[in-house]
Amino acid sequence: IASIFAFATCGGFKGKTEIQVTCAKVHENKTITAAFGYPFRLNEASFQAHPDANVCDVNWKSYVLIGDYSSSAQFYVTFAVFVFLYCIAALLLYLGYTSMYRDSRKLPMIDFVVTLVATFLWLVSTSAWAKALTDIKIATGHGIVKELKPCGQEVMCYFGSVTSMGSLNVSVIFGFLNLILWGGNAWFVYKETSLHSPSSTSASHSQGGIPPPSG
């Protein structure tokens, strides 16, 4: 369930940033907007004015936001989806083939290795996505006004607003929550492996040895 919230809160995000523009000749505020969302290729999000509005004789479509954070976002979402699918497969295995799982030495070991790898990848993907989210907030915030060339010359620009990124913050929280859950689960999976509980056959061999001489 935690993995569902992780990719759903990130993959379904859509937002926009608005800039208030005032022309030198016409003292009237107008708004230009840049829409963005998953996978956060901000360098493809161009500014748009109202279809019928000619804002200060500037072709605002030629100006875009800064940055491409698609690699971090897609890695995070894709990994979360794979984890969700793996959990479903593992649940079916546990419910339908419990005896086979307990009698096998390979399956618990494979499960343990996968759990360790998943824990590590949760750490990597969530950390990368958290860093990307910080950069996205900067790229769509007040600093964007300084990056627009028309602003400050004959055009006065003021930062208007940006869509709340609360759901993206939640996605990071769920990422680290998954890290904790999988890290804790690694211990329980480890207890099912032969590393923690040697098989009865190996245990009997280890307890055996050269019998004491008779007589």
Higher-pLDDT residue of 120, 204:
120
Query: What DSSP character marks residue 45?
Result: -
State pTM to two decimals.
0.81
In the chain, what percentage of residues exceed pLDDT 90? Answer: 46
Going by pLDDT thresholds of 50, 70 and 90, the confidence category of residue 101 is: low
Going by pLDDT thresholds of 50, 70 and 90, the confidence category of residue 196 is: low
Angle at 158 between CA 167 and CA 162, to 5 degrees: 10
Please give the pLDDT value at position 100. 66
Q: How many CB atoms lie within 10 A of CB 209?
A: 7
Q: What is the pLDDT of residues 35-54, one digit of tens each?
A: 999 999 999 999 998 776 77
Tell me the DSSP string of 66-97.
----HHHHHHHHHHHHHHHHHHHHHHHHHHH-
Please give the pLDDT value at position 52. 64
CA-to-CA distance for 169 and 42, rounded, in angstroms?
Answer: 18
Give the pairing type, strands 14-23 and 29-37.
Answer: antiparallel
Nearest to 14 by CA among 214, 130, 117, 165: 165
Domain boundaries, the chain: 2-196
CA-to-CA distance for 211 and 208, rounded, in angstroms?
Answer: 8
Q: What are phi and psi of 87, to 5 degrees?
A: -65, -40
Q: How many CB atoms lie within 10 A of CB 27?
A: 8
- Report CA-CA distances (Å) from 23 to 20, 48, 55, 108, 158: 10, 16, 8, 68, 12
Higher-pLDDT residue of 196, 165:
165
Please give the pLDDT value at position 29. 82
Higher-pLDDT residue of 28, 112:
112
Higher-pLDDT residue of 126, 86:
126
CA-to-CA distance for 115 and 117, rounded, in angstroms?
Answer: 5
**Mean pLDDT, the chain, integer:** 84
Please give the pLDDT value at position 207. 45
Q: What is the pLDDT of residues 146-194, one digit of tens each?
A: 888 888 777 888 999 999 999 999 999 999 999 999 988 888 777 777 6
Using the predicted structure, report yes or no on whether residue 108 has a pLDDT greater than 50.
yes
Question: Of 30-44, 81-95, 106-120, where does the model show the most confidence?
Answer: 30-44
Higher-pLDDT residue of 56, 10:
10
Going by pLDDT thresholds of 50, 70 and 90, the confidence category of residue 214 is: very low
**119 CB-near residues (< 8 Å, 6+ apart):** 179, 182, 183, 186
CA-to-CA distance for 60 and 169, rounded, in angstroms?
Answer: 30
